[in-house]
Amino acid sequence: MNNKLPAVLLLSVFVVATCGLIYELIAGTLASYLLGDSVTQFSTIIGVYLFSMGIGSWLSKYFEKNILSWFIQIEILVGIVGGISSTLLFLLFESIASFRVLLYGLVSLTGILVGLEIPLLMRILQNRFEFKDLVSKVFTFDYIGALLASLIFPLVLIPYLGLVKTAYLFGILNVSVALLVCVNFKKEIPAVNYLQSASIISILGLLLGFVYAEKITNFSESLSYNDTIIYSKSTSYQRIILTKRGKVLRLFLNGNLQFSSDDEYRYHEALVHPGLQALPQARKVLIMGGGDGLAVREILKYPNVEQITLVDLDKGMTSLFQKNEMLLSLNKKSLLSKKVKVVNADAFTWARQQKETFDFIVIDFPDPSNYSVGKLYTNSFYSIIKELLNPDGIMVVQSTSPFVAPKSFWTVNKTLESVGLHTVPYHNYVPSFGEWGYIMAMKKSFYKKPNSFISNLKFISKESMDQMLYFPKDMAKRETEVNKLNNQVLVKYFEDEWASVL
């Protein structure tokens, strides 16, 4: 017997052990990125993983003949499953309702396969060493591999390669072990050619995954965000990016922050309650934009509201907020409520064809940073929306920051007035955004401030409402033009005013 061979097998132990721990770490990290609460995630992942390894070890007794060949097949399988696991989890994160089932399924599968490795290896080596030497050597290499993995994972792999590439790299190493064993034990393995080509093909496949990892997951911009990107997708209309740091989730559309989960309640309460609390009879509500369902969440706090229509251009947005667990817990499953009808349509076109009228209308579009969105802030658009508003109804428009962009803010106000609406501008402080502005507009000429607000609010009260309605000098009203389709002054003001800040 060749003396080199035991050395090859011991090297395999080392690599296999490193890979095994890396998969475990990847799964734990991914789970805490995507699901939050890292202590729980890490301990459950480690528990499930170790338990699965136990199952694997127990199962190993059922492998009787051709143990070498089984070992090679298991190596290939571990390499593939481990290599693609993080890609799979990232890609399916948005669309799978029970993400946890997939996550723990993958963790268990990897655990079982890894659990099989060491017992099988020991049986391969049992005739080549004395038992005490065997145990000491195998476990020494096993634990050294684990140490190496636990050191390079946080220090080298995550900062330089990222989760997805790391997984592919160790998948490749795992399959390489299979190939190495194939080459060295040619004579002892039946159908060695088949196993050899299978491992070569798997290595090539994983290599492709490694090279195109960024394309597959679209994480190329991860460098431009401070927090970890946990989801990103380009729809036909925009690029949606979700990041997470600690417990805080942030949503970016085309690079612009839409909300931060730790203070979005300030924004959405301010957007909804000043208007809706003043309409105790409101039954029908329309929301344009706001595909995150957070404004809907606030509206659903009013039992008198019977029907909510949400019009958002992007199905990618609304379905993300209808399916993903983490986001569902943020919007309280608002978009799944029976009262809510989600329409994926272009707001302008939809509104133009609409005949129904509403008691309360929320207009929550992205900021007017380009001509395409700018159209939704024009007098032409507002005069259509006016037709959809019941005589006693109120509409509210998110109107950018009156502090950073006072001209833009007061342009929205002026444009609303130009179509014959009476306006009530107000503002509040949202830490992620800064001082933010909203404008209520109505056909009737007065707005009666609510005497009290519903109880389950974190920000708005009668007292804070007084402050919101008051505009200090640095945000006071300025003279501007009306924003029209053929002048789009708002886009220009907005660009100028924000350029000096960003």
Partner 1 sequence: MLRAGLICSGIALNACIRKIKPGSSPYSDIPAELKGPDASAGHVLRDKVSLPKPSYSRDVGVLVIGGGISGLSAARWLKKNGLENFELLELENQTGGNSKFGESKVSKYPLGAHYVTPANNENKDLIDFYQECNLITHFENDLPFYNEYSICFDPEERLLINGQWQEGLIPEFGIPAEDKDQIKRFLALMEELRYVRGNDGKYAFDIPLDHSSTDTTWRKLDNLSFSDYLKESRFNSPYLLWYLEYCCKDDYGQKLDKISAWAGLHYFAGRKGKAANAESSTVLTWPEGNGYLMQRLTARLEGHVRSSTLVYGIREDKSFMLVDVYDLKKKESYQIRAKKLIMATPQYVTRKLLKNFTRAEVDYEGFNYAPWLVANITLKGLAGAPGAPLSWDNVAYNTPSVGYVDANHQDITAEGGSKIITYYLPLCDQDTRIARLAAYARNHEQWLDIVVPELEYLHPNITDQIENVEFWVWGHGMISPAKGFVWGESRRNANQPLNHQIFFGHSDLSGVSIFEEAFYQGIKAAKQVLDSYGKV
Count Cα neighbours of 232 within 13 Å in the Cβ-side half-sphere.
21
Answer yes or no whether residue 332 interacts with partner 1 by CB under 8 A: no
* Options 39-47, 100-108, 116-124, 346-354: segment touching partner 1 (CB under 8 A): 346-354
Answer yes or no whether residue 375 interacts with partner 1 by CB under 8 A: yes
SS (H, E, C) 185-199: CHHHCCCHHHHHHHH
**Binding residues with partner 1: total (CB under 8 A):** 22
Answer yes or no whether residue 42 interacts with partner 1 by CB under 8 A: no
Please spell the DSSP secondary structure of 317-381, one letter per residue.
HHHHHHH-HHHHHHTTTGGGSTTEEEE-S-HHHHHHH----EEEEEEEPPPS-SHHHHGGGSHHH
Name the minimum Å distance from CB 485 to partner 1. Answer: 5
Answer yes or no whether residue 419 interacts with partner 1 by CB under 8 A: no
Name the minimum Å distance from CB 481 to partner 1. Answer: 12
Name the minimum Å distance from CB 449 to partner 1. Answer: 35
Name the minimum Å distance from CB 361 to partner 1. Answer: 18
Answer yes or no whether residue 373 interacts with partner 1 by CB under 8 A: yes
Q: How buried is residue 454: exposed, middle or buried, by Cβ count under 10 Å (0-12/13-18/19+)? A: middle
CA distances from 216 to 41, 65, 160, 416 (A): 25, 40, 18, 44
Distance CA 494, CA 411 (A): 10
Answer yes or no whether residue 486 interacts with partner 1 by CB under 8 A: yes
Answer yes or no whether residue 484 interacts with partner 1 by CB under 8 A: yes
Selected from 380, 388, 469, 481, the binder of partner 1 by CB under 8 A is 380
Selected from 379, 398, 400, 411, the binder of partner 1 by CB under 8 A is 379
Selected from 43, 136, 372, 467, the binder of partner 1 by CB under 8 A is 372
Tell me whether residue 238 or residue 399 sits nearer to partner 1 (CB atom). Answer: 238
**What sign does the CA torsion over 449, 451, 456, 461 have?**
positive
Angle CA 42–44–47, to nearest 5: 105
Please spell the DSSP secondary structure of 103-118, one letter per residue.
HHHHHHHHHHHHHHHH
Name the minimum Å distance from CB 258 to partner 1. Answer: 16
State the binding string over 60-99 for partner 1 (x if CB under 8 A, else -): ----------------------------------------
Selected from 92, 97, 135, 485, the binder of partner 1 by CB under 8 A is 485
Tell me whether residue 184 or residue 254 sits nearer to partner 1 (CB atom). Answer: 254
Selected from 348, 418, 469, 481, the binder of partner 1 by CB under 8 A is 348
Answer yes or no whether residue 352 interacts with partner 1 by CB under 8 A: yes
Q: How buried is residue 233: exposed, middle or buried, by Cβ count under 10 Å (0-12/13-18/19+)? A: middle
Name the minimum Å distance from CB 413 to partner 1. Answer: 20
Angle CA 363–367–369, to nearest 5: 140
Contact 258, 293 (CB under 8 A): no
Answer yes or no whether residue 349 interacts with partner 1 by CB under 8 A: yes
| Active-site hit among 142, 292, 312, 364 | 364
State the binding string over 213-242 for partner 1 (x if CB under 8 A, else -): -----------------------xx-----
- Residue 237: φ, ψ to 5°: -110, -30
Q: How buried is residue 163: exposed, middle or buried, by Cβ count under 10 Å (0-12/13-18/19+)? A: buried
Assess whether 142 carries a catalytic annotation. Answer: no
Tell me whether residue 400 or residue 483 sits nearer to partner 1 (CB atom). Answer: 483
Residue for token pair 């939704």: 376
Collapsing DSSP states into helix, strand and coil, what is residue 172? helix
Residues within window 442-461 making contact with partner 1, judged by CB under 8 A: none
Answer yes or no whether residue 346 interacts with partner 1 by CB under 8 A: yes
Name the minimum Å distance from CB 231 to partner 1. Answer: 20
Selected from 449, 470, 487, 496, the binder of partner 1 by CB under 8 A is 487
Please spell the DSSP secondary structure of 205-217, one letter per residue.
HHHHHHHTHHHHH
Answer yes or no whether residue 313 interacts with partner 1 by CB under 8 A: yes
Collapsing DSSP states into helix, strand and coil, what is residue 35? helix
Tell me whether residue 352 or residue 449 sits nearer to partner 1 (CB atom). Answer: 352
Q: Where is 249: in which H helix or E strand?
A: strand 248-253
Answer yes or no whether residue 353 interacts with partner 1 by CB under 8 A: no
* Options 98-106, 133-141, 341-349, 432-440: segment touching partner 1 (CB under 8 A): 341-349
User: Residue 424's closest CA among 403, 442, 401, 436?
Assistant: 442
User: Residue 432's closest CA among 246, 265, 231?
Assistant: 265
Name the minimum Å distance from CB 375 to partner 1. Answer: 6
Residues that bind partner 1 (CB under 8 A): 236-237, 313, 346-349, 352, 370-373, 375, 379-381, 484-488, 491
Catalytic residues: 364
